[in-house]
Amino acid sequence: MQAETFARLLTDIVASLRTGGFRDIVLIGDSGGNQAGMKQVAAEPERQVGRGSTHVHYVPEYYDYPGLTKWLETQASTRWTKATTTTTASPRR
């Protein structure tokens, strides 16, 4: 999918969620190629002001697996453990 098409798709999805009454819409991706489109859509001023109090948030840190793993390791909870690779974190079962 072309970047422009992806951004337009996200714009329509955000508009639909806003119409449905969502106040906070969080864009989180798990593919590196999609990050720029999400960042672009969330940064557009009309998305932040829009109708009512709806805000669109882009969370780039979610895709930062090494940073996420490091953060999880600093938490007091023992429910989390470092996965076998350095790129993911998973809950202990």
Tell me the pLDDT tens digit for each residue of 25-72.
888 887 777 888 898 998 886 655 445 678 888 888 777 778 777 777
Do both 47 and 18 map to the same domain?
yes
Q: pTM, whole model, 2 decimals? A: 0.61
Do both 40 and 71 map to the same domain?
no
What is the DSSP-derived secondary structure letter of residue 82? Answer: E
Determine the Cα–Cα distance for residues 83 and 90; give it in Å rounded to an integer. 6
Burial of 56 (0-12, 13-18, 19+ CB in 10 A): buried
Do both 76 and 93 map to the same domain?
yes
Q: Give yes or no for residue 7 having a pLDDT over 50.
A: yes
pLDDT value, residue 87 = 46
Determine the Cα–Cα distance for residues 42 and 8; give it in Å rounded to an integer. 12
Q: Give yes or no for residue 81 having a pLDDT over 80.
A: no
- Number of structural domains (the chain) is 2
pLDDT value, residue 69 = 77
